[in-house]
């Protein structure tokens, strides 16, 4: 039986923290939607408070039937439809994303961004857009942020005002004032169950048909690659699609800061980093996980996002026979990847010359993604090599809305794919 990450247990040991610990009574009782009338608001406040008390006391189960019974015993004549609406509202307040819960119904939404009580945005296929006001006051946003972070096993308060957690299908980041100048900030990345194939990305326009042929050859030829781009360009989506094309007899070991990759592949193993506890102990970073992954017989080693010293471990793995490896990295363009890798290598104690030698012999290609007004687009496939000891990235195929153009490294890329046994 799968456990809801938001669900509070029916019975709780006295020494265990309450799911709404740290919230004042008013914050616990506020409704999940802005009231339209004062009388409705008062009734909603009272009902949510009563049901919450029943749940915490263990007299009501956090199930649809249990919440419906609690609503009916509150003495309010709501009718069948009203009771169902009240149950949904209370469940969102107790277990889900509160006033944001209904946004999950839109499959196109990938991010929910709350900038204080008066400003909420969503991001997805159509780009950023503002939604109607969902919070009445700042304390509601803070109460929701505190509850979500607590459900993820961490603490959000004045002593720890910036926290991120992984919670079920969400990656949640919160910032409290005064670090935030405009009220509590809440950023929620939604991991959708749907996995896009490369064919889906071609149909949506993210990948051009000419680019698809090269991407398939890169995976089948087991070239080492990095996917680059800015935040929200679809790097993880493309990486999952590419990994789905790996051979069914291959074992994929995925190393991530927050588990987001979900390739359609029969043999994947995931490792996720861990933050330290309140005393700072128990942390496991990506670099350590990469070292452990190498002992797990990976046919493909994948680092979800290179953002620190783990880049050294990944490049060393690529240079010691672990071909077909890959990952993602934040960069403004494919040609900016060498500078980005140099900066990350410095965090791991690598000099620019050492990093260039490691990356130049380890990496084969960089695949760069862009955000455009129409959505996301695979902008370029570039070849990685060394030029007189300097790491360089040269365009092999660049695409835009009008089609694809071969670059200076096209012939070299063809030769590398031919040597890998998959000529194009």
- Are residues 278 and 405 both part of a single domain? yes
Q: Which of 192, 215, 244 delimits the end of a domain? A: 192
Neighbours of 245 (CB within 10 A): 16
Q: Locate the DSSP E strands across 128-224.
A: 129-131, 162-167, 170-175, 185-190
- Are residues 253 and 162 both part of a single domain? no
Number of domains within the chain: 3
Q: How far apart are CA 45 and CA 31, in angstroms?
A: 6
Report which secondary-structure segment, H or E, holds 95: none
| Local mean pLDDT, 10-residue blocks, the chain (424 residues) | 45 40 38 41 54 57 61 59 61 72 88 95 87 92 91 88 87 94 93 86 92 96 96 92 96 92 94 80 90 96 93 94 95 96 94 95 97 88 94 95 92 95 90
- Are residues 266 and 298 both part of a single domain? yes
In a domain, 424, yes or no: no
pLDDT at 37: 38
- Are residues 246 and 151 both part of a single domain? no
The answer to whether 405 and 420 have CB atoms below 8 angstroms apart is: no
Per-residue buried b or exposed e for 186-211, using 16+ beta carbons within 10 Å of the residue's own CB = bbbbbbeeebbebeebbeeebbbeeb
Domain with 186 in it: 99-192
The answer to whether 290 and 305 have CB atoms below 8 angstroms apart is: no
- Are residues 292 and 384 both part of a single domain? yes
Q: Which of 163, 192, 221 delimits the end of a domain? A: 192
- Are residues 258 and 184 both part of a single domain? no
Among 352, 26, 367, 421, residue whose Cα is nearest residue 211? 367
- Are residues 266 and 410 both part of a single domain? yes
In a domain, 240, yes or no: yes
Structure tokens at 188: 């929620």
pLDDT at 281: 80
Indicate the SS3 state at residue 319.
coil
pLDDT at 182: 87
pLDDT at 126: 77
Q: Which of 53, 68, 96 delimits the end of a domain? A: 96
Among 339, 344, 264, 275, residue whose Cα is nearest residue 303? 344
Q: How far apart are CA 272 and CA 254, in angstroms?
A: 8
- Are residues 207 and 224 both part of a single domain? yes
pLDDT at 93: 62
Q: How far apart are CA 96 and CA 89, in angstroms?
A: 10
Structure tokens at 298: 């990976």
Q: For the chain, how many residues are written?
A: 424
């Amino acid at each position: 039986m799968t456990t809801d990450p938001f669900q509070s247990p029916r019975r709780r040991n006295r020494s265990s923290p309450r799911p709404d610990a740290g919230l004042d009574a008013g914050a616990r009782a506020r409704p999940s939607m802005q009231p339209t009338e004062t009388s409705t608001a008062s009734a909603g406040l009272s009902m949510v408070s009563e049901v919450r008390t029943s749940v915490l006391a263990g007299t009501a189960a956090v199930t649809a039937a249990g919440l419906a019974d609690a609503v009916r015993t509150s003495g309010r004549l709501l009718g069948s439809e009203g009771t169902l609406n009240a149950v949904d509202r209370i469940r969102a307040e107790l277990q889900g994303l509160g006033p944001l819960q209904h946004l999950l119904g839109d499959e196109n939404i990938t991010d929910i961004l709350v900038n204080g009580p008066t400003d909420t945005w969503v991001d997805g296929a159509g780009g950023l857009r503002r939604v109607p006001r969902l919070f009445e006051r700042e304390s509601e946003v803070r109460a929701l942020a505190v509850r979500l972070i607590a459900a993820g096993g961490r603490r959000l308060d004045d002593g720890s005002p910036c926290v991120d957690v992984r919670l079920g299908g969400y990656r949640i980041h919160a910032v409290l004032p005064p670090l935030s100048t405009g009220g509590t900030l809440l950023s929620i990345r939604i991991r959708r169950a749907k996995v896009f194939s490369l064919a889906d990305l071609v149909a949506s326009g993210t990948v051009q048909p000419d680019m698809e042929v090269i991407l398939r050859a890169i995976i089948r030829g087991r070239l080492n690659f990095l996917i680059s781009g800015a935040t929200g360009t679809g790097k993880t989506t493309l990486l999952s699609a590419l990994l789905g094309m790996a051979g069914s007899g291959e074992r994929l070991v995925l190393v991530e800061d927050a588990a987001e990759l979900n390739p359609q592949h029969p043999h994947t193993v995931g490792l996720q980093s861990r933050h330290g506890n309140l005393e700072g102990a128990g942390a496991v970073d990506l670099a350590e996980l990469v070292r452990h992954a190498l002992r797990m017989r990976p046919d493909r080693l994948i680092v979800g996002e290179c953002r620190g010293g783990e880049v050294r471990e990944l490049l060393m793995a690529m240079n010691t026979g672990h071909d077909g490896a890959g990952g993602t990295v934040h960069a403004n363009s494919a040609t900016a990847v060498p500078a980005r890798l140099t900066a990350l290598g410095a965090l791991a104690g690598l000099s620019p010359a050492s990093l260039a030698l490691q990356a130049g012999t380890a990496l084969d290609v960089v695949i760069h993604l862009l955000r455009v007004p129409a959505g996301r687009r695979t902008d370029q496939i570039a070849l990685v090599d060394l030029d007189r000891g300097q790491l360089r990235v040269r365009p092999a195929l660049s695409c835009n809305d009008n089609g694809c153009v071969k670059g200076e490294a096209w012939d070299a890329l063809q030769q590398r794919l031919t040597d890998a046994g998959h000529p194009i």
